[in-house]
Chain A
Amino acid sequence: MGTTARTEELRALAQRVADALPSDVIEVVLTGSVSRGMADEVSDVEMLVVTAEQLELEQAYDYARRAGLDGLDTWGTQGVPAKRVSGYIEGEPFELIFWPHDFAEAEFDAVVGGKLSSSADALAHGISLRTSGLLAGWQARLRDYPDELAAARIEEAALPWGGFTPAGLLTVVRPGERLSLLEWMFDGALRVLRIVYAMNRVWEPTTKRLAVRVEPLAVKPERLAERIEEALTEPDPRRALAIMTELQLDTVRLAPSGPNVDRARTFLAEGLELLR
């Protein structure tokens, strides 16, 4: 796959930042769209920085500053081992996530063991900017997506698609229920994708740039990304829900049989009849 010109430019900048980080940084991994060669005008540069010891936020700021970043800020939950620092270099936005080594290993084990996180995808597509061998080891382990994990994810994802009467679906198409409808459809879309990624033994990425992400998957409902977009943007609530319900049904029909998947096949088929 070719990379965009924007990617090349940002990778060079990322390497400069990585090279300027202090020596107790044992691993620097470029992640996000820049590592996948897909950077566009709004892309920022995302990096995972593994340190030998736990850093305080102020130390993480200091490292970022010494690597040439300015306009520093942080985001997300504070008081946790991971420290997040955003900033700019030559006007380009950077996001640095600092993980202490022991936390990185524990987090990686949790993700491979089934914790839902986009970290596995980020690392699988990561590019090494400085290494002591960690990334190569992680990527070797990520090449094997355990069958049991796929089966468990698929069953878990199908869980809410049943259990109440299929006519209950009609409650979210009533006038004034647009928020509940969108909540249900958004959750439905995430679960469809969770099942599809698991069936393809692909680590689940973030929700960004869906069309590009699902394009290479071999096993999927027809026009997957297009139908998600159609459902989420359809003004008529009943039609929107019918599009999503049919997509959910097509997905569980592709999925391996299990208690929740089987129940969902019946429930969604009945629901779709009611919506048509």
Chain B
Amino acid sequence: MSERSETLRARAERVAALLPPHVEDVVLTGSAARGMADELSDIELLVVSDELPGELPLDDRQSWTPPVDGAMWYGGTFDGEKVELVWWTPAYVEERVRAIASGEIVDHARLRTAEAIVHGIPLRGERHAQWTARLARYPDDLAARIVDDVTDDWIDWVESQRTNLRAGDALVLAQALVAAAEGILRVVFPLNEEWEPGWKRLAARVEPLAIKPDRVAERIDDAIRALDLQALRLLAAETLALAPQTAKTRLARERLSEPL
């Protein structure tokens, strides 16, 4: 664990201790929880209670309401460190964990909760152990469904590039590069039955995975720097070759391997 992670974790414990008594659970998430914090990292906390946390031990406090019921975001500083605090009701967390564990959730934005919780460190309350236990097993068929979704997108996408990509249309190219890279990663994590994370610190995130294209993180990084969509298409085809083969994956691999 980085020294910085230890510093942030100690601060986080103090923040957790200062939260009002009605706050039932507090979980440290983000890079400090994973032991990867550096000087740019802040403290990220999941705070669970039925009521809004009310008094917060933060200076320069800000907040905004995301467009969902039972969730709120707060930011501020504590002892000179930046703190991001996500407040969820117990019902909101329970429903998210249930839906993920039962394989109902397939999209990246909501699936990321699983990775955050599993790698989180409980600072208050007993529920974290239950959530982690329920997320210990990667749901049956989820990998196949994610691969299927990505494959469908790629099949459509290769076709649409015929009429979408024009020289100098940097925005469309950027969109294609991001979609290709995310698709590759969205296939790689489930193939290893690992919850997909956010894409920061990519090299460290994919490093422990057994099933992946050779040097996948470096190749994604290089291709994006060089704006080389062709390289990402070939890497996508190579990634799909690691998945169980269906008529659809074969079609996608064929199309991805065609020259642009």
Instruction: List the interface of chain A (C-beta within 8 A of B).
Output: 40, 42-44, 73, 75-76, 86, 93, 159, 162-165, 167-168, 170-172, 174, 176-180, 182-183, 185-186, 189, 207-211, 228-229, 232-233, 235, 260, 263
Give 3 closest A-B pairs by Cβ, nearest first.
Answer: A75-B156, A229-B170, A178-B224
Q: Mind listing 18 A-B residue pairs with CB under 8 Å?
A: A75-B160, A163-B73, A163-B75, A165-B42, A165-B82, A168-B42, A171-B40, A176-B217, A177-B202, A178-B224, A180-B199, A180-B200, A189-B171, A207-B172, A208-B164, A210-B169, A228-B170, A232-B170
B202 touches A167 (CB 8 A): no
Chain B nearest Cβ from A76, distance in angstroms: 6
Contact with A along B176-203 (1 / 0, CB 8 A): 0110011000000000000000111111
Q: Which of B166, B170, B199, B201 contacts A42 (CB 8 A)?
A: B166
Please report the C-alpha to C-alpha distance between residue A201 and residue B34 in the assembled complex, in whole angstroms. 46
B245 within 8 A of A: no
Contact of B163 among A43, A164, A168, A263 (CB under 8 A): A43
**Does B84 have its Cβ within 8 Å of any Cβ on chain A?**
yes
Segment 44-85 of B: residues with Cβ below 8 Å from A? 62, 64, 73, 75, 82, 84
* Contact present for B171 and A177 (CB under 8 Å): no
User: What CA separation (Å) do A229 and B62 show in the bound complex?
Assistant: 33
Query: Which chain A positions have C-beta within 8 A of B165?
Result: 42
Q: Within 8 Å CB of A170, what residues of B?
A: 40
Question: Which A residues touch B224, using CB under 8 A?
Answer: 178-179, 182
B215 touches A (CB below 8 Å): no
Chain B interface residue count, CB cutoff 8 Å, equals 43
Cα of A160 to Cα of B203 in the assembled complex, Å: 25
Smallest Cβ-Cβ distance to B81: which chain A residue: A165
B171 in contact with A159 (CB, 8 Å): no
Contacts known (A232-B170, A233-B170); A179 close to B181, Cβ less than 8 A: yes
Given contacts A171-B40, A186-B178, A263-B62, 4 further A-B contacts (CB under 8 A): A75-B156, A164-B82, A176-B221, A182-B174
Q: How close is A247's CB to chain B, nearest CB, in angstroms?
A: 13
> B202 contacts which chain A residues (CB < 8 A)?
176-177, 179-180
Give chain B nearest CB distance to A102 CB in angstroms: 26
B169 contacts A185, C-beta separation under 8 Å: no
Which of chain A's residues have a CB closer than 8 A to the CB of B159?
Answer: 73, 75, 86
Given A176-B221, A180-B200, A210-B169, also A93-B174 (CB < 8 A): no
Shortest C-beta distance, A166 to chain B (Å), equals 10
Could you tell me the distance between the alpha carbons of A148 and B172 in the complex, rounded to whole angstroms?
A: 29
Q: Considering only CB atoms, which chain A residue lies closest to B223 in the complex?
A: A178
Determine how close the nearest CB of chain B comes to the CB of A197; give it in whole angstroms.
14
- Smallest CB-CB separation from A163: which chain B residue? B75
Residues of B within 8 A of A232 (CB): 170-171, 173-174
Q: How far is the CA of A81 from the CA of B198 in the complex (A)?
A: 33
- B73 contacts which chain A residues (CB < 8 A)? 163
A209 to B156, CA, bound (A): 20
* Chain B residues positioned under 8 Å from A172 (CB to CB): 200
B246 near A: Cβ within 8 Å?
A: no
Inter-subunit contact A186/B175 (CB<8 Å): yes
Which residues from chain A contact B181 at a C-beta distance below 8 Å?
179
Chain A: which residue is nearest B62 at the CB level? Answer: A163
Chain A residues within 8 Å of B172, by CB:
207-208
A183 lies within 8 A of B42 (CB): no
Cα A211 to Cα B166 in complex, Å, equals 12
Structural contact, A164 and B221, CB atoms closer than 8 A:
no
Is A163 touching B221 in the complex (CB atoms < 8 A)?
Answer: no
- Chain B contacts with A in 190-230, Cβ cutoff 8 A: 198-203, 217-218, 220-221, 224-225, 227
A42 touches B162 (CB 8 A): yes
Which chain B residues lie closer than 8 Å to A229 at the CB level?
A: 168, 170-171
Which residues of the partner chain B approach A178 to less than 8 Å between Cβ atoms?
220-221, 224-225
- A44–B163 alpha-carbon span in the complex (Å): 7
In Å, the complex CA distance between A178 and B220 comes to: 8
Q: How far is the CB of B170 from chain A (nearest CB, A)?
A: 4
Contacts of B166 in A (CB 8 A): 40, 42, 208-209
B163 near A93 with CB under 8 A, answer: yes
Q: Is the CB of B156 within 8 A of A179?
A: no
* A182 pairs with B178, CB closer than 8 A: yes
CA distance A171 to B42 in the complex (A): 11
Measured between C-beta atoms, what is the minimum distance from A129 to chain B in Å? 20
